[in-house]
């Protein structure tokens, strides 16, 4: 059953006594938008991704369609308040209400309770829990913000596929070893119960990215449009340089047919969502990822899918896809990907789909 949210606005039960805005990084964006009391409604709307008035919140659980833990699961663990979360969960279960929780940050933590709905940006498909879903990265619509349009810039199909990338991918051996050392330290702390952040594969994320970029650049089957930076955002450290590098980033997306999307520090790709936003086709390297709302979206119809073990074949896989797709279908896929972002991956779409997941 597909809930029509234009007719029925979701009613969500929360316990506001849980809020701790001194840890605002652990407050789900929709709750920041609706409960940051030091901001006007207009300020909340602008600052927190147009998320005011998507849900109605209540402190009467009998009225609610589902419940939401007010703070991210990380917060309850790091502040020794898991018992508080458990009390909330038990109460909601006693009233037959489904419960949503959010896990923040690249690595994240694993909840110790079952039968709650988990939304997080990272995670591994091979370790997926029964009600675990990937949550897209929260983004403002850059087509509207930068280009004053909601329509994508259509690219006609050319003879050879042009794959773009703009980001950190040209760092030193020492920097990669530093990343590896940090992964090892985090994993050690996890296995010795000093920290709850989940362990990661011993493969520095930029090194993995550099490997596939090298494979693509050496191929004569495709064309590349790569901007390789030595630091995150090109080392931008003020408003002017941040704006310059961000503009270059979105120009790279728009001026390419396909965009290389591979995990960063966490096992997810923000670039995947930005690619869909501007109506381009992801060249997606699957590193055991959970993709958002895969109960709704057939992702393999919207990306060029490459398993990590097959990275060396990425140019051939992309070339075969490009040769086989009809020019009209190539354009339609761009339009479809933008529509997927608007309806499912935009900030409004994220929380509407969370509601549908819990209300169905």
Q: What's the DSSP call for residue 267?
A: S
Please give, one letter per residue, the 3-state secondary structure of 302-351.
CCEEEEHHHHHHHHHHHHHHHHHCCHHHHHHHHHHHHHHHHHHHCHHHHH
The mean pLDDT value for 78-90 works out to: 94
28 vs 159, residue with greater confidence = 159
Topology of domain 142-342, per CATH?
A: Rossmann fold (3.40.50)
Q: What's the DSSP call for residue 137?
A: P
Residue 237 confidence (pLDDT) above 70? yes
**pLDDT, tens digit (0-9, with 9 covering 90-100), for 291-314:** 999 989 999 999 999 999 999 999
Q: pTM of the full predicted structure?
A: 0.91
**pLDDT, tens digit (0-9, with 9 covering 90-100), for 15-72:** 999 999 889 889 888 888 888 766 666 666 565 557 878 899 999 999 999 999 999 9
Residue 194 confidence (pLDDT) above 90? no
Say if CB 165 and CB 272 are below 8 A apart. no
User: What is the pLDDT at residue 57?
Assistant: 95
**Phi-psi bin for 262: left (phi > 0), alpha (psi -120 to 50), beta?**
beta
For residues 39 and 289, what is the distance between their CA atoms, to the nearest angstrom? 36
Band of the pLDDT at 193, cuts 50, 70, 90?
Answer: confident
Highest mean pLDDT out of 93-97, 130-134, 165-169, 175-179: 93-97
Distances (CA, A) of 56 to 2, 21, 102, 276, 282: 19, 20, 18, 29, 35
Structure token pair of residue 344 = 């499912």
User: What is the pLDDT at residue 195?
Assistant: 80
What are the domain boundaries of the chain?
Answer: 11-134, 142-342
In a 13 Å sphere around the CA of 1, the CA atoms on its Cβ side amount to: 7
What contacts 174, CB < 8 A, 6 or more positions away? none
């Amino acid at each position: 059953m597909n809930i029509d949210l234009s007719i029925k606005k979701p009613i969500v039960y929360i316990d506001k006594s849980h809020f701790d805005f001194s840890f605002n990084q652990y407050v789900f964006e929709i709750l920041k938008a609706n409960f940051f009391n030091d901001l006007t409604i207009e300020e909340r709307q602008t600052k927190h991704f147009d998320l005011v008035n998507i849900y109605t919140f209540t402190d009467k659980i009998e009225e609610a369609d589902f419940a939401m833990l007010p703070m991210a699961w990380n917060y309850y663990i790091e502040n020794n308040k898991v018992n508080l979360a458990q009390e909330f969960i038990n109460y909601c279960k006693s009233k037959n209400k489904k419960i949503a929780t959010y896990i923040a940050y690249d690595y994240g933590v694993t909840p110790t309770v079952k039968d709650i709905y988990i939304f997080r940006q990272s995670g591994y498909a091979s370790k997926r829990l029964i009600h675990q879903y990937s949550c897209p990265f929260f983004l403002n619509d850059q087509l509207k913000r930068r280009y004053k349009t909601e329509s994508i810039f259509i690219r006609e199909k050319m003879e050879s596929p042009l794959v773009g990338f703009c980001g950190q991918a040209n760092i030193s051996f020492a920097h990669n070893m530093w990343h590896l050392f940090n992964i090892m330290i985090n994993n050690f702390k996890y296995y010795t119960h000093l920290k709850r952040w989940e362990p990661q594969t011993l493969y520095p994320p930029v090194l993995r990215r550099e490997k596939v970029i090298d494979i693509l650049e050496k191929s004569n089957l495709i064309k590349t449009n790569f901007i390789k930076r030595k630091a995150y955002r090109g080392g931008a450290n003020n408003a002017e340089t941040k704006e310059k590098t961000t503009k270059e980033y979105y120009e790279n997306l728009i001026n390419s047919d396909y965009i290389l999307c591979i995990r960063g520090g966490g096992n997810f790709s923000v670039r995947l969502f930005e690619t869909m936003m501007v109506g381009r086709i992801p060249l997606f390297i699957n590193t055991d990822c959970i993709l958002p709302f895969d109960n709704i979206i057939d992702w393999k119809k919207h990306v060029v899918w490459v398993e990590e073990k097959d990275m060396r074949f990425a140019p051939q896989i992309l070339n075969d896809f490009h040769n086989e797709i009809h020019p009209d279908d190539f354009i339609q896929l761009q339009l479809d990907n933008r529509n997927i972002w608007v309806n499912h991956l935009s900030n409004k779409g994220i929380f509407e789909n969370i509601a549908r997941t819990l209300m169905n």
